[in-house]
Structures are given as C-alpha cells and as structure tokens.
Chains A and B, each alone.
Chain A
Amino acid sequence: NAGVMQNPRHLVRRRGQEARLRCSPMKGHSHVYWYRQLPEEGLKFMVYLQKENIIDESGMPKERFSAEFPKEGPSILRIQQVVRGDSAAYFCASSPGPPRGTEAFFGQGTRLTVV
C-alpha cells in the first residue's frame, strides 16, 4: 500500500508564476489536509478537503491560494503569482475519515523555492 505521494518534491518558480502542488492520498483515504512549513518553523494548517468539498480553509491565505480535491485524481494546491514569502515546504496528509482516533499519514512534501 503506497503512502501519500506528493509531487513534485522540489519546485522552483520565478516571482509572479503559478505553482501547482499535487497530493495523491493513500488508497481508501478520502480526506486530505494541507500544511505549510516555513524554514525552521512548525507546521501550519492550511486547508482540509474531502472529495469535491472544502471542509475547512481557515488557514488559507485570503488571496492567491486555492485548493481542490476532485472526484478523480489528486488533490491540488495552487498558488498564483508566487512571491518570495511563499517559499516553504508544503505537506499534505490523508486519513480515511473522522472515526474516533484515526491517524493521518503525511507525504514527503513539496519544497517550493521562489526566485
């Protein structure tokens, strides 16, 4: 059973370009979380999605950031018009759902560098 797959592992974008980060959850998992980690800092929650639904986007910046988890295919985190401050590691996690006490599994992350 493959783990959570994120690609690309490393992404370099020039200021003003768009960044698209992909996350394929573990088989059978229908819940996806996105987190951002700035250098030398902890993980900050961004958004929680189920298939075709955004459940909680309280951690998403109000502009330029969007996320989706379509019925088919991976979850996508899109950052438009990237700026240097967007440089960070972006992690996604998946879980089978909210039964009591289930754990989430994280991918290896996408390291975004904005030049």
Chain B
Amino acid sequence: DAKTTQPNSMESNEEEPVHLPCNHSTISGTDYIHWYRQLPSQGPEYVIHGLTSNVNNRMASLAIAEDRKSSTLILHRATLRDAAVYYCILRDTSDTSGTYKYIFGTGTRLKVLA
C-alpha cells in the first residue's frame, strides 16, 4: 500500500551531506510529503514535511521536484546519531475516510561511517 519507493540502504561519511531520495510518481495534488526517521529501539521521529516548496528546519531540508514525483531529504552534516531508518510517506489530506493515516514503507537504512 505504500506509495513511495526508497533505496533499501545508504552509507555516508560523518560530517558529510547526505541526500536521501524518494520516488512518489502517483502523488496527488493534496498529498503532503512527510519524512520520519526511526533510531534503533525507538519510535518514529518527525523530521520534516512539505507540499510543493522546498522546506528547511533545524534537522534537515526537503527538496521537492517541480512535478512533485520525487523528493530528497538532505542532512547537511551527517553525524553518528543520524544513523536510522528514514521513511518517506505521503499523507493525503483529502482522505475521504477521514483517517489521514501514515502508510509506512520499508524506508532507507542510513549508515554513518566515522
């Protein structure tokens, strides 16, 4: 049911930027793009979300393609604490069922090398 596609795993060196891609070719006009991450033995942690424009916050940046069929989560300087599974999720705010539930895919496991 997941409507996004992400690489299973990626590696990055510490202190370097990381670009985590996500494809969502079936995105609709009302779908927000959300990113969460899950550190080992913890609950998912909200990272960032956006609709059409690029977004920045203290944790990361979200770059959204002009056609919205893909997006990239950017960690500007990876640290060992950023090692986690990153999930890209579409959340339909026009959901007629009124659920607005998140459907998690398998995510990208990010490994940060010291």
Find chain B residues with CB under 8 A from A55 CB. 97-99
The count of A-to-B residue pairs whose CB atoms sit within 8 angstroms is 60
Task: Considering the complex, give the chain A residue whose CB is closest to the CB of B51.
Answer: A101
Number of interface residues of B (CB under 8 A): 25
A43 at the interface (CB under 8 A from B): yes
A45 pairs with B32, CB closer than 8 A: no
B107 pairs with A42, CB closer than 8 A: yes
B32 pairs with A109, CB closer than 8 A: no
B105 at the interface (CB under 8 A from A): yes
Find chain B residues with CB under 8 A from A103 CB. 34, 46, 49
Chain A residues packing against B (C-beta within 8 Å):
4, 33, 35, 42-45, 48, 55-56, 91, 93, 95, 98, 100-101, 103-109
CA distance A101 to B91 in the complex (A): 8
B106 at the interface (CB under 8 A from A): yes
A106 pairs with B43, CB closer than 8 A: yes
Query: What are the interface flags for B45-89 relative to A under an 8 Å C-beta threshold, 1 for contact and 0 otherwise?
Result: 110010100000000000000000000000000000000000100
Q: Which of B34, B93, B97 contacts A100 (CB 8 A)?
A: B93
B113 at the interface (CB under 8 A from A): no
B101 pairs with A56, CB closer than 8 A: yes
Q: Which of B43, B95, B101, B107 contacts A107 (CB 8 A)?
A: B43
List 19 extra interface pairs beyond A43-B44, A95-B100, A103-B49, CB under 8 A: A4-B43, A33-B102, A42-B104, A42-B106, A43-B102, A43-B104, A45-B102, A45-B104, A48-B100, A48-B101, A55-B97, A56-B101, A91-B44, A98-B93, A98-B98, A103-B34, A106-B44, A108-B43, A109-B43
